[in-house]
Structure 1
Amino acid sequence: MDYPSNENPLKTRWYHYIAAFFAGVFLVNIIPHYIHGITGKPFPTPFADPPGKGLSSSVLNVLWATINFLISFSIFYLGKISKRSKWIWIAIFAGGIVMSFYLAHYFGSQTTL
């Protein structure tokens, strides 16, 4: 496909940064669900009752990790996010860090010693 000389098909727009941020969010959310799933431990998922608080089986956790992977893969690869500027990588990292702190706070407040 030929583009006019003044139009770059990979020009990074504001919404690419938002998409990259959410790619980082979904990438980090894979980790706890996948680890609990493959070790056979129940862990909360959106499929639990109540959602996000009740425990889901290890199979559902692997399924939820897979869904998170497919979402992040779709944003990152199919959306051609990986072919953009270094600021995109910073947005992915920021999304991952924000989700990490959110998960630490959310699941940390549910545990009792």
Structure 2
Amino acid sequence: MPTVVELVVYAVIGLFGANAVPHFVKGITGERHMTPMGPESSAVANAVWGSVNVLVAGSLAWVYRDAVEPATLAIAFVAGTAMAVGLASYWGGED
């Protein structure tokens, strides 16, 4: 049975993993997009920020690899999906 800490860590892994995708894609396609470094960050900044997000998610997954169970993977999936839907709704202008 996963601990509360492991469940929280896997939620964070899902959030960082989902957040990595749009930044990395914007970066490698040469588009500007918001990052913590500014509202109109360069494509390079987005590629780097997306890579940092992957690094955080991957590092946490490696450190907590012994906690991989159906419950922790489900939490990561739900958190990642929530982040993806939230970002799609925000950037798509949908209510």
**TM-score, scaled to structure 1:** 0.76
User: In the alignment, does 2:68 pair up with 1:84?
Assistant: yes
Higher relative contact order structure (alpha carbons within 8 Å, sequence separation ≥ 6): 2
Higher helix proportion (structure 1 or 2): 2
Q: CA deviation at 1:20?
A: 0.3
Gaps of 5+ in 2: none
Q: What stretches of structure 1 move > 3 A for 4+ residues in a row? A: none
Q: CA deviation at 1:78?
A: 1.8
What percent of counterpart residues are identical?
Answer: 28
User: In the alignment, does 2:15 pair up with 1:25?
Assistant: yes
SS at 1:17 equivalent: helix
In the alignment, what sits opposite 2:44?
59
Q: Which amino acid is 2:89 matched to? A: H
Q: CA deviation at 1:102?
A: 1.4
Map Cα deviations across residues 18-77 of structure 1 (whole Å, 9 max, x no partner): 1101101100111111111001111111111xxxxx211000001100110111011111
**TM-score, scaled to structure 2:** 0.89
Q: CA deviation at 1:84?
A: 2.7
Q: Which amino acid is 1:35 matched to? A: V
Partners of 2:90 and 2:43 lie apart in 1 by: 20
Gaps of 5+ in 1: 1-10, 49-53
Mapped contact 2:10–2:75 kept (Cα < 8 A):
yes
In the alignment, what sits opposite 1:105?
89
- Say which one has the larger Rg: 1
Mapped contact 2:27–2:43 kept (Cα < 8 A):
yes
Partners of 2:73 and 2:7 lie apart in 1 by: 9
RMSD: 1.7
Q: How many residues align?
A: 94
